[in-house]
Amino acid sequence: AQSVTQLGSHVSVSEGALVLLRCNYSSSVPPYLFWYVQYPNQGLQLLLKYTSAATLVKGINGFEAEFKKSETSFHLTKPSAHMSDAAEYFCAVSPASGGSYIPTFGRGTSLIVHP
Amino acid sequence: KAGVTQTPRYLIKTRGQQVTLSCSPISGHRSVSWYQQTPGQGLQFLFEYFSETQRNKGNFPGRFSGRQFSNSRSEMNVSTLELGDSALYLCASSQSYPQDNEQFFGPGTRLTVL
């Protein structure tokens, strides 16, 4: 069984401020973890993924996330928010198995960036 | 390289009808996954097809079905539509295993059931 909890359905930051979006997961098997971004009227775009290599994962658009097994967390951060970062962000977990792929998504966090 | 395309983009149906949604993956991608996105339930995995075979299936009733053709294009069918089927249906493609390879999502088909 697996689940994902994203703390905070909305996060509001000022332009230039640190972005921190929280994700905690549970998984009965070693997980792969993902962060996706969704802009209005568009599909999801992969920001980054953890696949058991490095625990600190760097993604596109300046985002990064750190896998912390002891805390079962995979929080997404960006040092300096930009207006274009305003979007919906989803954390997802799936089994780290080539044959079985059924992902579980968090409910999403809407990032609001103020000028 | 063209992205994932989904047709139609918008659809309005009435209860009891059936609907077919289409997805064309990125050229060379053999895995196609379908997702349902609603405000109440969030993003939920429907099923994944690879080389014309359903490889993984989420927890949805049998009214939801799909298929994949030899050119990797995929269709999803929902029969006997219910009001709760109103959602954004997203298709995603990847080269092989979705968790090992990046999934590329289409813009979705917005289905409204009246």
Nearest alpha carbon to residue A56 among A72, A67, A46? A67
Q: Kindly report which listed range (A9-23, A80-94, B27-41, B91-105) carries the lowest average pLDDT score.
A: B91-105
Residue B16 predicted with pLDDT over 70: yes
Residue A101 predicted with pLDDT over 80: no
Asked if A11 contacts A21 with a C-beta cutoff of 8 angstroms, the reply is yes
pLDDT of residue A10: 96
The shortest CB-CB distance from B43 to any of A95, A97, A105 is to A105
Which of B43, B59, B90, B110 should we substitute to test contact with A (largest number of A Cβ atoms within 10 Å)?
B43
Which of A 44-73 lie inside 8 A of B, CB atoms? 44-46, 49, 51
> Are B100 and A98 inside 8 Å of each other by CB?
yes
Give the model's confidence band at A42: pLDDT under 50 very low, under 70 low, under 90 confident, else very high: confident
Q: What are the pLDDT digits (tens) for A70-95?
A: 999 999 999 999 999 999 999 999 88
Q: How far, in Å, CA of B87 to CA of B97, rounded?
A: 26
In sequence order, the 6+-apart residues with CB closer than 8 A to the CB of B41 are: none
Q: Is B73 exposed, middle or buried (0-12, 13-18, 19+ CB in 10 A)?
A: middle
Q: Which residues of B touch A98 (CB under 8 A)?
A: 97, 99-100
Asked if A77 contacts A56 with a C-beta cutoff of 8 angstroms, the reply is no
Structure tokens of A79?
């040092």
In sequence order, the 6+-apart residues with CB closer than 8 A to the CB of B84 are: B113
Tell me the pLDDT of chain A averaged across its residues.
92
Q: What are the pLDDT digits (tens) for A9-31?
A: 999 999 999 999 999 999 887 88
pLDDT of residue B100: 73
Strand ordering across the sheet containing B74-78: B5-7, B19-24, B74-78, B64-68
CA of A31 to nearest chain B CA: how many angstroms apart? Answer: 10
Provide Rg for chain B, Cα atoms.
13
pLDDT of residue B43: 93
> Are B44 and A96 inside 8 Å of each other by CB?
no
Give the model's confidence band at A99: pLDDT under 50 very low, under 70 low, under 90 confident, else very high: low
DSSP bridge pairs for B31: B50, B94
CA of B97 to nearest chain A CA: how many angstroms apart? Answer: 6
pLDDT of residue A97: 66
In sequence order, the 6+-apart residues with CB closer than 8 A to the CB of B90 are: A43, A44, B6, B34, B35, B36, B37, B43, B105, B106, B108
pLDDT of residue A82: 97
What b/e sequence results for A18-49 when a residue is b if at least 16 CB atoms lie within 10 Å of its CB, and e otherwise? Answer: ebebbbbbebeeebbbbbbbbeeeebbbbbbb
CA of B28 to nearest chain A CA: how many angstroms apart? Answer: 19
> Are A94 and B44 inside 8 Å of each other by CB?
no
Average pLDDT rounded to a whole number, residues B41-52: 93
Q: Please indicate if any CB of chain B lies within 8 Å of the CB of A82.
A: no
